[in-house]
Amino acid sequence: MLATLFFFVIVVSLYPLGIGPEVQLLRRIAPGVVWVAALLASMLSLGRLFGNDYQDGSLEQILLTPQPVYLVVVGKVFAHWLVSEIPLVVIAPVVGLQFGLSENILAIIVASLLLGTPVLSLIGSIGAALTLGLRSANVLVAILVLPLYVPVLIFGAGAIEASIGGLSAKPYLLLQAAALILAVVFAPWATSAALRISVE
């Protein structure tokens, strides 16, 4: 689980080291860098979401419980988010300092990650469920899931960019919230269907 966090920190830190201390340029690329790093980091841990349960047979037991699978999936995704995404949200302001960003912009970064990372976990769970038991699961998850992450990336980076440019980040954050609501409603449903297919 710590691997996700270190990956995020290292990727975000590589840019200032590689580009040099030009504050203007760093501020310009910060929103994209933070979000792309968050997308890639969140993909790293997707294999563990259902992988262990699938291998040791617990997944079958979970699918045969009288609970709706939807709720089970919501619980698993929430746990995944708490363990592997919340640390990114917490550490983001610290690594953001390397880009010469002010406090209120760092606050916007936290807000946009807080709204966007659950969407990453939810969409990622569909990919993780579909690729269960496949040999090249990790690569396939990336191909399946990264295109679906694009809206999260655009709105998330948009919020940070707007606040750097002195505009209000609110419309972007609202769009992110809308994406979150959509994902909470539909993604667990798709994931449950995918799990049933993978187990069969």
Partner 1 sequence: MLEAVNLSCARGERRLFSGLNFSLPAGSYLQAFGPNGSGKTSLLRIVCGLAAPAAGEVRWDGTDIVGLGEEYFGAIAYVAHQNGVKDELDPIENLRISSGVAGNALSKREAQAVLERVGLGKQQHLPARLLSAGQRRRLALSRLLASRARLWVLDEPLASLDDDGARLARKLISEHLTSAGMAIIATHQEMGLSAGQVQRIEL
> Does residue 191 contact residue 125 with C-beta atoms inside 8 Å?
yes
103 binds partner 1 per the rule CB under 8 A: no
- Identify which of 200, 194, 48, 59 has the alpha carbon closest to the alpha carbon of residue 130: 194
CA gap 193, 21 in Å, rounded: 49
> Does residue 159 contact residue 142 with C-beta atoms inside 8 Å?
no
Number of chain residues interacting with partner 1 (CB under 8 A): 15
66 binds partner 1 per the rule CB under 8 A: yes
What is the nearest approach in angstroms of partner 1 to the Cβ of residue 111?
A: 34
168 binds partner 1 per the rule CB under 8 A: no
| Cα 24-93-22 angle, rounded to 5 deg | 15
Of 58 and 138, which has the nearer Cβ to partner 1?
Answer: 58
Binding mask 30-59 for partner 1 (x = CB under 8 A): --------------------------xxx-
Which helix (H) or strand (E) element contains residue 64? none
Of 51 and 100, which has the nearer Cβ to partner 1?
Answer: 51
134 binds partner 1 per the rule CB under 8 A: no
Of 2 and 104, which has the nearer Cβ to partner 1?
Answer: 2
65 binds partner 1 per the rule CB under 8 A: yes
Of 72 and 105, which has the nearer Cβ to partner 1?
Answer: 72
CA gap 163, 165 in Å, rounded: 5
Can you state the percent helix, strand and coil of the chain, rounding each to 5?
A: 85, 0, 15
- Interface ranges with partner 1 (CB under 8 A): 56-58, 60-68, 72, 199-200
